[in-house]
Amino acid sequence: MKILRPINVAFTALIQILMYWCIIIPTLTMYGIASTTPTWVVLCAIAATSLICAGGYVINDYFDVKIDRINRPDRVIVTNTMSKAEAMRLYQIVTGAGIACGLVSAFYLRSVTLGMIYVIVPGMLWFYSSSYKRQLIVGNLIVALSAALVPMVPMFVEATALGNKYGELLSQTPILKTLYGWICGFALFSFLFTFIREAIKDLQDEPGDREYECHTMAVVWGENITRSVLTALIILTNAILAFFVYNVIHFEGTLTSRYFLFGIVAPSVCLIAILWSKSCTAYANASSLCKFIMLIGTLYALIYYYIIAATYHIPMFGIFQIMQ
């Protein structure tokens, strides 16, 4: 069903899969430690995050019917193909299933923190859709923070399991520091580019947002100032990533730097050019390109897996053996 945004939900699941099986598992293997989390618990947590994400799309469409009739009249689903009551029931079922899956994994791991995440985030998404998205920057920050939590969930799961097994011994090793360093890097990347994409969507949705008095960046600051802010944010984001690539990541060879230059920097330059173009589809194209950059950045997890496998002689595609 289109209202669930299956492609976006699949991307949410992919991020978590890559974080766990291409970052966390190889890193633990590098330190000679096996994962202590049953596969079903990890999959349960991934399903929970993905379902809550899907529910967020439904409730967003539920509250945005009037605005979408102006901005995207051909893509209005609620009231066109399903009633508002049906949309609300779908939201309750999908989000309820997500919370249930999350609480199951949290209960198994005896983690109050993980359980709270799966209860608080749906509430954040509800209030975002109902009111916060109409407030300057607040809505953008909520979505960006939610996106940043996605790669963190597998880390919370594994860190809790490791803590349950090894206790204080774990703090005497660099394992968690290494893991959190990498996963937080992906989370920061997700946060920054999600914030940028949300601001681009504000530009795209400016007519409907202005009609219904939404105080978005595009409505409050105007088109040119918003584009200038976005340009600065894109440059700043690439500068932060460049710092990590050239000063923090110490892999041999140039694979990481080439991936960064051609996969992130070059598309980012194109993104700025599109933002300032006169095309009537500029903002839609910029939003799609931003999503592409986010995909490319996430897929760096495969490069990490390859480098660790080559360096520490871990069999490539051993990921499938680990999952068994």
Q: At what angle do helices 138-166 and 175-204 cross, to 10 degrees?
A: 160
pLDDT tens digits along 6-52: 999 999 999 999 999 999 999 999 898 888 899 999 999 999 999 99
**Pick from 29, 22, 13, 42: nearest CA to 301:** 22
Contact present, 51 and 98 (Cβ < 8 Å): yes
pLDDT tens digits along 180-215: 999 999 999 999 999 999 999 999 999 888 888 889
Nearest-angstrom CA–CA distance, 187 and 154: 12
Q: What pLDDT was estimated at residue 318?
A: 54
pLDDT tens digits along 64-79: 888 888 887 777 888 7
Q: Residue 18 in 3-state DSSP? A: helix
Residue matched to tokens 């440059």: 235
pTM of the model: 0.93
Nearest-angstrom CA–CA distance, 157 and 35: 11
Quickly count: other Cβ atoms within 10 Å of residue 164's Cβ: 14
pLDDT tens digits along 235-258: 999 999 999 999 888 787 789 999
Give residue 122's pLDDT band: very low, low, confident or very high (50, 70, 90): very high
Nearest-angstrom CA–CA distance, 283 and 278: 10
State both tokens at 296: 């490319």
Residues 126-144, mean pLDDT to the nearest whole number: 91
Residue scoring higher pLDDT (101 or 317) = 101
Contact present, 190 and 151 (Cβ < 8 Å): yes
**Pick from 241, 239, 231, 230: nearest CA to 300:** 241
